[in-house]
Chain A
Amino acid sequence: MLKVKELTGGYAAEPVIHSLSFDVQKGELFGILGPNGSGKTTLLHMISGIMRSDTGSIYIKDLPIQNYSAKQLARTVAVLPQHSSQTFSYTVKETVSLGRYAHQSGWLNTWTQEDERIVQEVMEQTGVLAFQDKSMNELSGGEIQRVMLSQALAQQPEILLLDEPTNHLDLSYQKDLLDMMKKWSVEKGLTVISIFHDLNLAALYCDNLLLLEKGKIQIIDTPNNVLQQERIQHVYKTEIEKHPHPVLPKPQMFIVPDKQAGDDQEIKIDQQYITQAEEYISLHSPIPLRTMSSGVTGAGTGWYDTFVNRHVNHDYNCEDHLEEMKLFLQERGFDSAETVGMMTAVDLQYAVYQFYQERDFSIFIIVTAGVGNAVDASRASEHTEDSSPGTINTWIFINAKLAEEAFIHSIVTATEAKVKALMQLNVMDFITDSSATGTSTDSVLVAATQRGTLLQYGGTATPLGKLIGKGVYECTMKALQKNQYKREAE
């Protein structure tokens, strides 16, 4: 559909873009990225016929762009401008009708039924039909953008060029516009070439991306290959973290703000931050901690500064325990959005916590353990109904900076140590009559300050793994013994 060959050119003597070559296929949604001044707009101006190139050529449908007259080009290529100035207050319909200019012929430019039909159709599709008689300066920014899109579509183009189409638009308009573009590229074979400021939107919608750097092509490839962390950091000269989209297999880039004074000050999470109450034990960190956990609220990964382990009765049974837990937290002055909350039937006065110091990092472990509900994980299928509750909640606070994988290592190591403790104390699964590996409702939490030493791994071969293994084993043993002792006392 579009072929660009060795394109060089710019405003004055100094070319803005240097020998760009690329192809765009019919029906493709093609994104152009690049920092300010990298030549994105210049390139788009050349493709839209506003600017001439110094050397090189642009082929549209296999014909050089110079062979097109202004009208011919407008019948093939339409542009959605970034801003549109409204000096005079044309009505919406008058504005959209101008899109038919290139299709009208003769000195009098007669308005045909065909013109009218198409104008009605595109106004319908872009949702501006309802206010077609309104004046343009009565519209909001999003509405104006839709009218301009409608005008561009009235040209019945095969290629649609967009210059930062989502600029000045609300989130929902951004999504609507790009969803519409995607739909048309798929259903009608419309080729869409768009400049994007927002790398994440480009990643979500584009089939291919062209990354410009100082007027040259850095890379043309699929979003996942273009949006590599190192590449984007290099081209945009800024701190960026790449992360997958939570629900789609698309990459997303996150800006990392510069550290402020005090941001790097090390913080040691230890027992001074613990509050022990009748019905809960909580830890309130002075800074949010990077957390991976299987609690009730704040489960999964996130950043939290408050951690609550709540005591519930043996017969606690609530249909919506998440809502109930949120209510519980709110009533006690915790912000449920900032809090990881867990539950246990274990008496909280038997909680065990211990601080462990290594050479350049430290960990703080809190365990509450009951085994009334002990299960052999390998034979859990033989358990048919809930038996008496009893839970081992393991919290590990790490005063260091952890890589993503170190969180997972830590959870694995903590689990292994817990199992060892259960074995050591000969805890049995009474249903299967075999050694138990835990209870059916165990939870684990790993939270790191993300300050200080970087710990890449947390397996048992590493200092972190060793410390977690030892600590969790010891604390679980102690907690179980305390609980055992209590029961015997009863």
Chain B
Amino acid sequence: MPKRSIQTYLNKKLIYLLAVAFLTSSFLAGVSIGAVSVPIMDLLNILAKEILHLPIEQTNEMYTNIVMNIRLPRVILAGLVGASLAISGAAFQGLLRNPLADPYTLGVSSGASLGAVIVLFFSFSMPIIGSFTLPVFSVSFSFATIFAVLFFARKIDRSMKVESIILTGIIFSSFLGAFISLMIALTGNELRQIIGWLLGSVSMRGWSYITIILPFFFVGVLVLMLNAKELNALSFGEDRAQHLGVNVKRRKLTILTAGALLTGAAVAVSGTIGFVGLVVPHFIRQLCGPDHKHLLPLSLLSGGGFLIFADLVSRTIIAPTELPIGVITALIGAPVFAAILMKNRTGRRR
């Protein structure tokens, strides 16, 4: 029997406190550190003046510029993307009863990428939605992908074992990846844009990207939070949830839609960033248990903090060169993925 690493879960309030502290310190560090470091006092002054409009007189012009136009949008975007990926990962895992499910392993990210690449490749924009063409395409594609993956996984193995879903997700990832590669091969001048975007990055996006992700973020998070109880029931299996009184068909669709919304929007603004949705919920579950009432908000906070931190590392570790942020998350995420898989297998053998 696998012994839980922390036998009695930590006090819930303490965990919330830790998560908020982590997010705040990542945030401050993320805004402060860079090619030009902004001292914390200046930073606080700038934030107080520019955002809270407090009557603070002396702020450094250059610092204000760096913070308001470069660092702050970048850090906020990283936070939103990380939060979106982490909370949708937690939701996918609960719904599919599968600790290895996350937007990346399920192929949803690839679906969203394909949608985005199509928009970039043909560089068109739909009437009415305008600048939202890219995220809408990403979301639609991620939505279609998750349903296709689940449909095929069910075809392969009616009991929808963990491995079957992951395998199907990987097959879809490769398949969709082929289309993306095809389009890259056919692209001439836009190549750099697509590649840079594919590797995942939150740099040089500006405030406009935040306005793109924000509506999807709010709707997705709200919907998932309202389904925390249902996710608890669903993590005992769909039949069991039905027995407990959950309207499984409707709730499942709602949760998948919200998950796809969050993933699609995150991919649309930052490209494919893997493993955030896997690593963060896993750690939170180790700390506070699998109850989604706490798992979802805590994943949200820590996911945001984690990606801000990863972004900070990616742009400072071999400065002035910037690493793609996906490299950092994969370096941390892949070993965790392997560890969970191994624990799962030994757990089942007992």
Contacts and interface: CB of A to CB of B under 8 A. Distances in A.
A84 B236 contact: yes
A89 B229 contact: no
Contacts of B248: 70
Given A70-B246, A101-B233, A89 B239 contact: no
A85 B236 contact: yes
Given A98-B233, A98-B236, A101-B229, A88 B246 contact: no
Given A88-B235, A109-B229, A81 B243 contact: yes
Interface stretch (B1-9, B51-59, B132-140, B328-336): B1-9
B244 A102 contact: yes
B99 A155 contact: no
Interface residues of A, number: 38
Contacts, number: 87
B290 interface: yes
A9 interface: no
A74 B244 contact: yes
Given A90-B290, A90-B291, A133-B8, A49 B242 contact: yes
A70 B245 contact: yes
Contacts of A441: none
Contacts of A91: 289
- In the complex, which range does the number of interface residues on chain B fall in? 20 to 34
Contact of B226 (A78, A88, A107): A107
A124 interface: no
Interface string B282-300: 0001000111000000000
Contacts of A151: 244
A94 B242 contact: no
Interface of A is mostly: mixed
Given A94-B232, A107-B226, A135-B4, A88 B285 contact: yes
A98 B243 CA distance: 11
B252 interface: no
A94 B8 CA distance: 14
A102 B240 contact: no
A81 B239 contact: yes
Contacts of A45: 239
A165 to B, nearest CB: 14
Contacts of A89: 4, 289-290
B119 to A, nearest CB: 35
Interface in B204-243: 226, 229, 232-233, 235-237, 239-240, 242-243
B232 A98 contact: yes
A396 B324 CA distance: 95
Interface string A94-129: 110011011010010100000000000000000000
B316 interface: no
B164 interface: no
A71 interface: yes
A136 to B, nearest CB: 10
Interface string A53-91: 000000000000000011111110111010011011111
A90 B289 contact: yes
Interface of B: 1-2, 4, 8, 94, 97-99, 226, 229, 232-233, 235-237, 239-240, 242-248, 285, 289-291, 347
11 contacts: A49-B243, A50-B243, A70-B245, A78-B243, A87-B235, A88-B290, A89-B4, A98-B232, A98-B233, A104-B229, A135-B4
Q: Please provide the 9 A-B residue pairs with the shortest distance between their CB atoms, ordered closest to farther.
A: A74-B245, A102-B245, A88-B290, A71-B245, A87-B97, A79-B243, A70-B247, A101-B244, A109-B229
Given A79-B243, A81-B243, 20 more contacts: A48-B243, A50-B243, A70-B242, A70-B245, A70-B246, A71-B245, A74-B243, A77-B243, A78-B243, A81-B240, A85-B236, A85-B237, A87-B99, A88-B97, A90-B291, A98-B244, A101-B233, A104-B229, A137-B2, A137-B347
Interface of A: 45, 48-50, 69-75, 77-79, 81, 84-85, 87-91, 94-95, 98-99, 101-102, 104, 107, 109, 133, 135, 137-138, 151-152, 155
